[in-house]
Amino acid sequence: MSVLRNRTYRHLFTAQAVALLGTGLATVALSLLAYDLAGDNASAVLGTALTIKMVTYVTISPVIGALADRLPRRTLMVGADLIRAAVALTLPLITQIWQIYVLIFLLQAASAAFTPTFQAVIPQVLPAERDYTRALSMSRLAYDLESLLSPAVATALLVVLPYSWLFTGTAAGFAASAALVVSVVLPRPSPVERTSGVYGRAVFGARLWWRTPRLRALLALDLAVAAAGAMVLVNTVVVVRHHFERPAEAVSLALGAYGAGSMLAALLLPRLLTRVSDRGVMLPAAFALPAAMAAVTALTAASPGPWSWPALLAAWAAIGFAGSAVLTPSGRVIRRSCADPDLPAAFAAHFSLSHACWLLTYPLAGWLATAAGLPAAAAALGGVALAAAVAAALTWPSRDPVRLDHLHIDLSADHPHLAGAEAVGGGWRHGHDYVIDQHHATWPALGRCRPIRRGGIRGYSKVSESKERTHG
């Protein structure tokens, strides 16, 4: 909690928390609204709305990331909050199902602008890695607490108010978030050397991920989390009510076990990450996911016994713990893998690509459980999680240094990037924290670096652009 002493971060974190609470209230109210308008077809309406949400995240976020360096970040975040508040106030007034889809698109487009911008600002507000790690855990806790508190708050309000008032609570949450963002001065973003237009910047975010081995591994890890998480979020009600024949209250208990596991990981990680590398935490956690899914497969294939229900709760908690252990350090990996001016594009690309993973696994979890049964769904999603974890382990090199020596042969001697570089063999050699940017467009094959020795200096040979050559 020490990071909350920083006034700017304290206000931004509170803005995130109240916006998340408002979003949770809107989720409950939207379900009730869909039932009023569509009756027995409410599930289809909500399924379509969730699909629109994910597609919006995947398509809009990269564009916002490309525009983030052209707009004041505080203005962008406040504008997104005000749009979300206006949409929330409009939702109770709609009378047609298609209107839900339009407003959901606007609501999620604004969220796709707010969240990556918020994520890109935090490492500049808290530049010390220890503080930033704690902030990542705080954000994870905020998401977990929202999933636990929002249904409880909504239930309490529905005792005395019609559900339409929940949308008013949602709007109030977004308005409060906007006021909190306005109340602080955000760090001035690092200057950006623009070498392309909006489209080029939007594509750059995806290129940055594809050409950085540890970021490709992070995308595979996101898929592993999405595969296991989709089983929990989509099929918990069927597992609890149909297979275990438990009452409705047990659904909340199972989801609470999942959230408790996630919260425990978020609380333990700041101290653990001072002793263990991000890779050393994230990969074992990813391999724990298919192991937990194997247990779920066995539990749903066998007849319930006296030990089955506690075992399921333990499996749900394990999935929550492992998923949080993968997701929480991801911001550290992203910050390490890009220059400060590219943080908005990098976080926007992650926001888009990670939600694309959920866009794949959500329907897979639902369709397989319906068509082939719960054990088949758990086994298939566990297989996806295992394949993704293996891909991450193969993609993320075990030796992954930050500073790398490399040679430029296409830049003039007076180029600012070559300050302090050494003239070598018709080019200029220097070393720095290596990231993909306008001067370094590629990464060595398979992400491996060969040690070089020249002039008594030990470093790593590097291909920086298509015109640069590896030496040593």
Share of the chain above pLDDT 90, in %: 22
Instruction: Return the CATH architecture of domain 1-135+144-189.
Output: Up-down Bundle (1.20)
Extract the tokens encoding 167. Answer: 């949308």
304: left (phi over 0), alpha (psi -120 to 50) or beta: beta
pLDDT at 221 exceeding the cut of 80: yes
Query: What pairs with residue 440 in β-bridges?
Result: 437
Least confident of 34-43, 404-413, 417-426, 446-455: 446-455
* Domain with residues 201-399, CATH architecture: Up-down Bundle (1.20)
- CATH topology agreement for domains 1-135+144-189 and 201-399: yes
Quick one: pLDDT band at residue 465, thresholds 50, 70, 90? very low
430 three-class SS: strand
Instruction: Identify the band that residue 127 occupies on the pLDDT scale cut at 50, 70 and 90.
Output: confident
- Quote the DSSP letter at residue 440: B
Average pLDDT of the segment spanning 220-233: 92
Sequence spans of domains, the chain = 1-135+144-189, 201-399, 403-460
Mean pLDDT of the chain: 79
Confidence of residue 436 (pLDDT cuts 50, 70, 90): low
Q: Which tens digit of pLDDT belongs to each residue from 377-422? A: 999 999 999 999 999 999 888 776 666 566 666 666 666 566 666 6
- Classify burial at 32, counting beta carbons within 10 Å of its beta carbon; exposed 0-12, middle 13-18, buried 19 or more: middle
What is the per-residue pLDDT across 280-316, written as a single tens digit (0 to 9) for each?
Answer: 999 999 999 999 999 999 999 998 888 999 999 999 9
- pLDDT tens digits for 65-103? 666 566 788 888 899 999 999 998 998 888 888 888 888
Check: CB of residue 126 under 8 Å from CB of residue 6: yes
Strand 451-454, strand 457-460: pairing = antiparallel
